[in-house]
Structure 1
Amino acid sequence: MKPCTAFIFLCCCLFACSKPQYPLVEIKTDLGMIELEIYENEAPITAKHFLANVDKGIFAEACFYRVVHMNNQEGREIKIEVIQGGLFHDSIVDSMPTIRHERTDQTGILHKDGVISMARNLPGSASTEFFICVGDQPQLDAGGLRNPDGQGFAAFGKVIRGMDVVRKIQMQKEENQMLVERIPILSMKRIR
């Protein structure tokens, strides 16, 4: 091997070895699998909370229940496209611990296509409900106008496999953004 070729080979090996090994979470539904990469270094509070919920089996009775697309946001000036999942029932969600809000201008994780983020009401009220972006959604970032407080939502990972499943879920029959038939999450587990 020539010295130049050997140097390039070594650099490629070092780059491949230095790529972070993020935790992976697999979501199984009747419509297919979704695989998530969780950015625990960039969004430590949110990622740790989500992974702890996965590890504790909190999502055993979870589902995807809300879909937002361009045709079901009448009267909204700022439109977004997402699917939302979690425990669904307010009585359960409200009893779960909440976490401090991590803004996108702190974490650097923007609401791009496939990014997973925490649903919330007020900043610091996120617990178990999450959403996945369909397409880029900059209005969900810090300073975005979708939420009147301008704090945005706490993004903490990304779909690395299964965006076709996410899009399938988004196209299911809905009424006022709520799925007519919720999509059960058959399992949600850490695979790395």
Structure 2
Amino acid sequence: MAQYTPEYQPTGDEIAVITTSKGTIRVQLHGADAPIHVGNFVELAQKGFYDNLKFHRYVPGFVIQGGCPNTRDLSTQDVIAKAKSPFAGLGTGGPGYSIKEEYTTNPHNEHNDGTLAMARSQDPNSAGSQFYFCLGDQPMLDSGYTVFGDTIEGLDVIGELRVGDVIEHIEIENAAE
């Protein structure tokens, strides 16, 4: 899969406002620490890529994951039903490209409660659109997955999210023109 370098250059002031069916989450994005991941996330959000996608993976005390385009045309009930099957294709979709890992260069790559990070396959450079929020500290992920934001409001909302919940829209505040 082709490696993509985003055109968007983060300023470090970007805040992702993630509106979900359970409430709103505000995340301070880490443009200086993970400029490729933040640039990619901002571009996808601004294109409406995440609108109406569903969270497809929930592991209590670990992570809640979303951003797979294979959930776009499914109802909440369909996602819940399909999430039980490893063959349903949930968690396998992306934007059609991948981005380079930044966990080896990010000086603050710590998976804390509410941290926003990018999911990937076995290839370290395979992240695309799928992201997860940590449900509690997950230091075992620090050396393998890129952190690109920290929740500043809505930790309670993250705690309520489950498989099938909807990412209604992601707005980026303070994005450079």
Provide TM-score, normalisation by structure 2: 0.74
CA–CA distance in structure 2, aligned partners of residues 84 and 167 of structure 1: 12
2:112: which partner in 1? 112
- Distance of aligned partners of 1:113 and 1:104 in 2 relative to their CA distance in 1, 3 Å threshold: farther
Q: Does 1:83 align with 2:83?
A: no
1:42: which partner in 2? 33
Correspondence 1:63-78 to 2 at 5 A:
63-70=54-61
> Where in structure 2 are there 5+ consecutive unaligned residues?
1-10, 71-88
Letter in 2 for 1:161: E
Decide whether the 8 Å contact of 1:96 with 1:128 is kept in 2: no
CA–CA distance in structure 2, aligned partners of residues 188 and 100 of structure 1: 23
- Distance of aligned partners of 1:43 and 1:109 in 2 relative to their CA distance in 1, 3 Å threshold: same
- Distance of aligned partners of 1:29 and 1:131 in 2 relative to their CA distance in 1, 3 Å threshold: same
Decide whether the 8 Å contact of 2:94 with 2:129 is kept in 1: no
- Distance of aligned partners of 1:41 and 1:21 in 2 relative to their CA distance in 1, 3 Å threshold: closer
2:83: which partner in 1? none
1:191: which partner in 2? 173
Give the secondary-structure state (helix, strand or coil) at the position aligned to 1:45.
Answer: helix
In our comparison, the structure showing a higher alpha carbon Rg is 1
Q: Percent identity?
A: 32
Higher helix proportion (structure 1 or 2): 1
Which of 1, 12, 20 is 1:29 aligned to? Answer: 20
Name which structure has the greater RCO, CA cutoff 8 Å, separation 6+: 2
Runs of 4+ displaced beyond 4 Å = none
Decide whether the 8 Å contact of 1:55 with 1:190 is kept in 2: yes
Give the secondary-structure state (helix, strand or coil) at the position aligned to 1:167.
Answer: helix
Cα RMSD over matched residues? Answer: 2.0
1:6: which partner in 2? none
CA–CA distance in structure 1, aligned partners of residues 159 and 52 of structure 2: 22
